[in-house]
C-alpha cells in the first residue's frame, strides 16, 4: 500500500464521518441557515469521499451542484418554512416517529444491500475507459427512454413556468407584442 493510498483511505474515512455527523446536525441545530449549510457540508464531504475513489468528475460535480443548490435553498427555506418566517430559532424535526421509522428502515435496507450484494472485485489494472464502461453499463439499454423522457420533462418545466408566471410576454407587450411594458423595475436591456 503506497503513501497515496493511505492518504486516500484516511481522507475517505474522515470525510465519511464528517458527512454523517454534519447530516445529523441538520436536525439538531435550531436555525434554518445552519441546517441548510450543515447539509451542504455533508454533501461536500460525500463529494470528497467520491474524489478519494478516483471518480474526479462525479466528486467535483457533486460538490459544485450541492453548494449551488444549498445557497439557493437557504433563501427558500428562510422565506417559506414554518409558521414563523424562519428568522427565529426553531425545531428542525416534525412527524418524529414516522420519520424515525422510515429512516431506520431505509438504513437497514441500504446497509443490507451493501453487505449482501456480491460486488465484483476491482481488477488489479483498472481499464482506462472506466467511465465510458460504467456509463454504458448503467445507461446503454435505457438511452432511448431517457431521450424520450428528457424532452417531455423539459417541456413540462417550461409549460409550468409559462402557466404560473403572472406576467408573461403577452401581458407585458400586449397581444401583438408591440406595446411598451409597464414593469415595476426596468430590465437591463432597456425593453
- Binding site residues, another protein, CB under 8 A: 4, 31, 33-34, 37, 40, 51, 54, 56-57, 59-61, 63-64, 67-68, 70-72, 74-75, 185-189, 191
Which strand (E) or helix (H) includes residue 13? helix 3-28
In angstroms, give the least distance from the CB of 189 to another protein: 5
Taking the least distance from each CB to another protein, the nearer of 107 and 170 is 170
Burial class (CB in 10 A: 0-12, 13-18, 19+), 156: exposed
CA-nearest of 1, 86, 6, 84 to 52 is 6
Q: 97 or 125, CB closer to another protein?
A: 125
Asked if 69 and 28 touch (Cβ cutoff 8 Å), the reply is no
- Ramachandran sector of residue 33 (left: φ over 0; alpha: ψ -120 to 50; beta: rest): alpha
Closest CB 188 distance from another protein, rounded Å? 4
Residue 133 cell numbers, joined: 464502461
Shortest distance in whole angstroms from residue 152 CB to another protein: 23
Least distance between another protein and beta carbon 162 (Å): 16
Between 88 and 100, CB nearer to another protein: 88
Task: Give first-to-last CA distance, the chain, whole Å.
Answer: 64
Nearer CB in complex with another protein: 68/132 = 68
Amino acid at each position: 500500500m503506497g503513501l497515496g493510498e493511505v492518504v486516500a483511505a484516511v481522507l475517505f474515512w474522515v470525510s465519511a464521518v464528517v458527512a454523517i455527523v454534519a447530516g445529523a446536525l441538520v436536525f439538531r441545530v435550531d436555525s434554518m441557515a445552519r441546517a441548510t449549510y450543515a447539509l451542504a457540508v455533508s454533501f461536500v464531504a460525500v463529494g470528497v469521499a467520491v474524489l478519494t475513489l478516483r471518480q474526479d468528475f462525479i466528486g467535483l460535480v457533486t460538490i459544485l451542484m450541492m453548494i449551488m443548490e444549498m445557497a439557493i435553498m437557504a433563501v427558500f427555506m428562510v422565506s417559506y418554512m414554518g409558521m414563523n418566517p424562519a428568522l427565529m430559532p426553531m425545531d428542525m424535526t416534525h412527524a418524529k416517529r414516522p420519520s424515525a421509522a422510515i429512516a431506520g428502515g431505509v438504513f437497514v435496507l441500504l446497509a443490507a444491500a451493501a453487505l449482501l450484494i456480491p460486488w465484483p472485485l476491482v481488477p488489479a489494472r483498472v481499464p482506462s475507459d472506466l467511465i465510458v464502461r460504467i456509463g454504458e453499463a448503467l445507461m446503454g439499454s435505457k438511452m432511448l427512454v431517457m431521450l424520450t423522457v428528457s424532452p417531455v420533462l423539459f417541456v413540462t418545466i417550461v409549460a409550468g413556468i409559462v402557466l404560473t408566471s403572472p406576467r408573461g410576454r403577452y401581458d407585458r407587450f400586449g397581444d401583438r407584442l408591440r406595446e411598451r411594458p409597464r414593469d415595476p423595475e426596468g430590465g437591463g436591456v432597456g425593453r
